[in-house]
Structure 1
Amino acid sequence: MAAEQTSKTIEAYPMNGGDGVHSYANNSSYQGRVNNAAKRLITEAVVEILDIENLASSNTLRIADLGCSVGPNTFFAVQNIIEAVQFKYQCQGLDSQLPEFQVLFNDHTSNDFNTLFSSLPLDRKYYAAGVPGSFYSRLFPNASLHFVFSSFSIHWLSKVPKPVVDKSSSAWNKGRIHYPNSNDEVVKAYQAQYTEDMECFLHARAKEVVCGGLVALIIPGRPNGMHHPQSPTTVVLESCLMDMARKGIISEEKVDSFNLPLYLMSPQELEAAVDRNGYFSMERIITELGIITELGTVPETQRQKISSSLRAVFEGVIMAHFGYEILDELFDSFGKKFEVEFMRKTRLGSPSIFFALLKRKATN
């Protein structure tokens, strides 16, 4: 049967591909450290919660990484999952029943899958396949996945909320590129888009994950009860774009119509979405996995690293709106201004990173 279709409009801005100076592969060390910090949680989830008795009827265990980008973080993550499964089988004396592993790497169709697959570990103990498409729609056959992993991905919305770029709307986000420090209508528009997207995400996974299967998520978000924090990076990026508008390099109207499709959910919001969906139980939620406060001073080499890391993530969405010509000047300006703004230690909050583990209930 053909995959379930959706009419949902989706915007795709993958991370920078290749292996160049501004590539995601060379500028995602922070994400890698957070994934490594979650390794123990993944192992515990598999050993204590994954029900391998439900997997006995299948000789293949399928793992999906949603929003895999180009590596190397995705390879470390799936290897952690596989080693945890192997350990569980060994502890239960089931070495002879160890399944084969298939890893399904998912990202948008415009993701650099060539770089991803050319850098696959030579000693991998799994069969690899790419699955292009948005994780806000169906990607896999019914009840085909045993473990789903996604890291630093579901804070990306499927699209910018329409009201924030509509001049006739009370949620028009003039002069800003994100919702923190905007009016309540802008925040509500982002919240509504998040709610819709999470409904789609969980509905799709409920169809694809076997009963007893697990979904592990590493999510940049905000603590329960905290007002939506301003990220130092987005505040400085917004300031740099407005500087370029004042210089006439880009139009102010162009800045007014640009917004980042990001939403920092709270653990409480995620739990509410899971409850509304009804097909998953929230097994664990760890709210102190990591905080983006790793900078104390900003020497020039660190400043360049920060600028390249931001460019690796945001170049696609910025280039699609403003064109390629402004990128070098924009991110050079960002690096210089970030140092001043960070050292000033203004009111800016920092997104927190939390870990959530969901288990597919034993129901159709």
Structure 2
Amino acid sequence: MQNLRTYTNRLKDTEMAAKDISKLSGEAHPMTGGDGPNSYANNSTYQKEVAVAAKELVDRAIVEKLDVKFLLSSSTTFQFADLGCSIGPNTFLSVENILQAVKFKYHSQGWRCSDQILEFQVFFSDHTSNDFNMLFKSLPKNRQYYAAGVPGSFYGRLFPKASIHIFHASYAIHWLSRVPKEVADRNSPAWNKGRIHYLNSTDEVKRAFEAQYAEDVECFLQARAEEIVRGGLMVFIIPGIPHGIPHSDALANVTYQLLESCLMDMVRKGIVSEEKVDSFNIPMYYMSPQELEGSIEQNGCFSIEMMEILALPNGTVSNALVSASHIRAAMEGLLKQQFGDEVLDELFDLYHKKFEEQHSSTIEAGKAINFLVVLKRN
């Protein structure tokens, strides 16, 4: 009887865990797949430059904060997960950089590092609609790790308890799990009619996005707190805004207002419907470092080991062609779902032209930061 009760309790725990994994699937908006001219693989140099700018700080954080003797005391397999990995090549660069830093730390403590002693398992994770075929076709031939794909939203559980040593995410967690429901509700004070984002919208819309961010980041931190080993690290590169400035002064606001004006031009031409523009919102939230710090402290499962502002890449932001191609690679799936595939070429041709017409001072006047956050599981 005791064995039966034990089995029943374990079965209930398994069912509850399965519910936890599936309850926050989130909206899926993968980057443009494949290796074509509009793909994320060929239009993500800005994100790559930010990762390169963060490398020295990430190396330092791992060398100073990671206790490999403690983490590997009961295992010789080091498990690493990249969240929001997309299709490469940036994920491979980040993986290689971090694993090299782990090996350096391992060596520096006098441990012998070889295939027989220390092995690496890397989990590449993104939404189920991500182009995993392209990702795995592009895997480096000379990689020194075992690779696996883990599909699903990082706003829910993805891994077994206490199984991951380092989590990494770059340009990922500013994506919300969904657009706040009230923003698309005609009867709500937060209805975002005529706009596609919160940055230059009403206070009600901004509060709706802030509330969605607060809910999402708590779900994210709680899920990772269960999955990471004690003493494990989380390394995030996040696009955000400086503390204390209005959201409307954010550089991203220039981008989204420009995209919004292009869509409204297409409404006037009868190419897209006004109703579709009214119901379209970009599910992103640009947090300040201090805002994220408050969320981490409220969660209580992690200590902040490092929080640093990164240098912005030179020239990329103000280059019209690069900006248009990067925005398209990130937004194409989202826009295609709402407006159809047939309008994309015209939309981004128009965006490119309008961007060129903007004075560079207008573009560069927007406030933007990228910041690195390193957390340690308490």
TM-score w.r.t. length of structure 2: 0.91
Aligned to 1:246: 268
**8 Å CA contact 1:264, 1:351 repeated in 2:** no
Change (3 A) 1:23 1:96: closer
Aligned partner (choices 354, 360, 373) of residue 343 of structure 1: 360
Structure with the higher helix share, 1 or 2: 2
**Distance across 1 between alignment mates of 2:132 and 2:25:** 22
TM-score w.r.t. length of structure 1: 0.94
Change (3 A) 1:91 1:67: same
3-state SS of the aligned residue for 2:358?
helix
One-letter amino acid of the counterpart of residue 366, structure 2 = G
1:191: how far off? 0.2
Aligned partner (choices 180, 188, 192) of residue 173 of structure 1: 192
Aligned to 1:33: 49
**Distance across 2 between alignment mates of 1:207 and 1:7:** 16
Change (3 A) 1:292 1:190: farther
1:313 and 2:314 matched? no
Aligned to 2:5: none
Output aligned runs, 1:1-364, within 5 Å.
1=14, 3=18, 4-8=20-24, 10-55=26-71, 56-96=73-113, 98-228=117-247, 229-231=250-252, 232-287=254-309, 289-291=310-312, 294-295=315-316, 298=319, 303-343=320-360, 345=362, 349-361=366-378
**Distance across 2 between alignment mates of 1:29 and 1:295:** 9
**8 Å CA contact 2:40, 2:326 repeated in 1:** yes
Q: In the comparison of the two structures, how many residue pairs are matched?
A: 356
**Distance across 2 between alignment mates of 1:32 and 1:358:** 22
Q: Deviations over 1:67-115 (max 9, x none)?
A: 0000000001011111101111111111257521000000000000000
1:293: how far off? 6.1
Deviates more, 1:45-54 or 1:110-119: 45-54
1:305: how far off? 2.8
1:304: how far off? 2.9
**Distance across 2 between alignment mates of 1:107 and 1:342:** 37
**Distance across 2 between alignment mates of 1:211 and 1:17:** 35
1:7: how far off? 2.5
1:343: how far off? 3.2
Change (3 A) 1:297 1:278: closer
**Distance across 2 between alignment mates of 1:72 and 1:206:** 28
3-state SS of the aligned residue for 2:40?
coil
**8 Å CA contact 2:318, 2:363 repeated in 1:** no
Change (3 A) 1:96 1:173: closer
1:53: how far off? 2.1
Change (3 A) 1:237 1:145: same
**8 Å CA contact 2:318, 2:364 repeated in 1:** no
**8 Å CA contact 1:24, 1:70 repeated in 2:** yes
Change (3 A) 1:9 1:142: closer
**8 Å CA contact 1:104, 1:130 repeated in 2:** yes
**Distance across 1 between alignment mates of 2:56 and 2:187:** 50
Q: Deviations over 1:273-323 (max 9, x none)?
A: 111111100111002x0336625865xxxx333222111000000011111
Deviates more, 1:56-65 or 1:94-103: 94-103
**8 Å CA contact 2:50, 2:312 repeated in 1:** no
**Distance across 2 between alignment mates of 1:67 and 1:119:** 16
**8 Å CA contact 1:291, 1:350 repeated in 2:** no
- What is the percent sequence identity of the aligned residues? 56
**Distance across 2 between alignment mates of 1:96 and 1:240:** 55
One-letter amino acid of the counterpart of residue 137, structure 1 = G
3-state SS of the aligned residue for 1:103?
strand
Change (3 A) 1:342 1:358: farther
**8 Å CA contact 2:25, 2:155 repeated in 1:** no
Stretches of structure 1 lacking an aligned partner (at least 5 in a row): none
